[in-house]
Amino acid sequence: MRIVYFTHSLASCWNHGNVHFLRGVLRALQAEGHVVRAYEPIGAWSLENLLRDHGDAGLEPYRTAYPDLVSARFKTRDPAELVDGADVVIVHEWNDPALVAALGALRRRGARFTLLFHDTHHRAVSDPDAIRAFDLDGYDGVLAFGEALAAVYRHWGWGDRVFVWHEAADVTLFQPPVLEPPRAGLVWIGNWGDGERGAELDEFLLRPAQAAGLPLDIYGVRYPQEALQALAGHGAAYHGWLANARAPAVFAHHLVTVHVPRRFYVTMLPGIPTIRVFEALACGIPLVSAPWADAEHLFRPGTDYLLASNGEEMTRHLQALQADPDLRAHLVRHGLETIRARHTCGHRARQLLALLPRLGSTVKEVA
């Protein structure tokens, strides 16, 4: 098949966590023998910020890890030429509404591709007007990255044309180290989150790490001055932006990591983990989660990872993991087992191909 994907950016992961999964699933689709084209707009906010902060060198980790992926930058709002010959077109929600509408208009006028809208954010509940402003007339279906989000689209009238398409780990990149290096301390890789989890990071990351006596390394962007002061006050070492392609090497040097979901994924869209859960477990690092309901039974709480109901329990879990190598080995073994059995980008590529016939699309081999 010929698959076209419109993304905000394929090249940049600066405050752009959706691209982690996108890179992996496009690679997996190519491995299945399909022709993939990715497009990103000129002036993409994520890429502009990456180049401003790190220059062209900031793109080297991506280029080195994904030499098989390429994207074309465009500025036209008339996408007919870009999708010529496509069998499937997927449009991520972090795109210009004018582009979204133009692709829908092409489909309404008889374009023969299957057209899908891909939603991987909480705006459908936190800012529904922003999502409902997209003109999705002409779209064949919606890909939602969790059941709770899919339920919102069903309520909006999409019925059986909305599909749950979870994120997953790109295990071509995210895997345990071949040679086990010395490990020490706790690592958190994540952005500040626009204040959506500031209190949670204090309760479930900063205070427990300090109480457990674990050195804490933090990577991410968009940390305001007050957040940086809070990190320093708890003795955490802040390292700034980390290219996602280098995250496996960082995980490999730490004893444990923590999952602190944004508030909307606890209260209004339960059951949707951050992609760091998939990636951390795929890398073989023990993980402890702040309160989060695995409503879709993606994992096995207590077996694949530990769950803390409050800051004190988080501290106890971190202390136990620091002291007990058998506990660490248990979590690593079972976490890897679950990822490899259910949650790789290869699984998601095959899920996408399997749902297409339900929309009347024939999965074709490319000559």
176-193 residue pLDDT tens: 999 999 999 999 999 987
* Domain interval for residue 105: 2-168+345-359
Mean pLDDT (the chain, rounded): 95
Confidence of residue 75 (pLDDT cuts 50, 70, 90): confident
Separation CA 284–CA 174 (nearest Å): 9
Sheet holding 256-259, edge to edge: 237-238, 216-219, 186-189, 256-259, 287-289, 306-307
179 found inside a domain:
no
Burial class (CB in 10 A: 0-12, 13-18, 19+), 218: buried
Residues 162 and 102 reside in one and the same domain: yes
> Mean pLDDT throughout 120-144?
94
Question: How high is the pLDDT of residue 367?
Answer: 47
Q: Are residues 127 and 216 in the same domain?
A: no
Domain of 137: which CATH number? 3.40.50.2000
In the structure encoding, which two tokens stand for residue 129, read together?
């007007």
**How far is Cα 253 from Cα 250, in angstroms, rounded to an integer?**
6
Residue 232 forms part of a structural domain: yes
Name the helix (H) or strand (E) containing 32.
none
Residues 137 and 52 in one domain: yes
Same domain, 294 and 319: yes
Do β-strands 216-219 and 256-259 pair in parallel, antiparallel, or remain unpaired? unpaired
Q: Is 342 helix (H, G, I), strand (E, B) or coil?
A: helix
**27 and 9 together in one domain:** yes
Nearest-angstrom CA–CA distance, 2 and 98? 23
Beta strand 256-259 with 186-189: parallel, antiparallel or unpaired?
parallel
Shared-domain flag, residues 329 and 260: yes
One domain for residues 158 and 193: no
Is 152 among the domain residues? yes
**Are residue 319 and residue 209 in the same domain, yes or no?**
yes
Percent of the chain scoring above 70 in pLDDT: 98
Q: What is d(CA 308, CA 80) in angstroms, rounded to the nearest whole number?
A: 50
Which pLDDT band holds residue 42 (cuts at 50, 70, 90)? very high
| Claim to verify: residue 207 and residue 331 sit in the same structural domain | yes
- Same domain as 210, residue 96: no
Structural contact between residues 200 and 309, judged by C-beta atoms closer than 8 angstroms: no
Angle of the 275-282 helix axis to the 18-31 helix axis, nearest 10: 60
Predicted confidence at residue 366, as pLDDT, reads 53
Is residue 173 in a domain?
no
Based on the structure, what is the number of domains in the chain?
Answer: 2
In a domain, 131, yes or no: yes
Query: Would you state the structure tokens that stand for residue 103, as one six-digit string?
Result: 């692709």
At 111-131, the pLDDT tens digits run 999 999 999 999 999 999 999
**pLDDT at residue 365, as a whole number:** 62
Does one domain contain both 204 and 124?
A: no
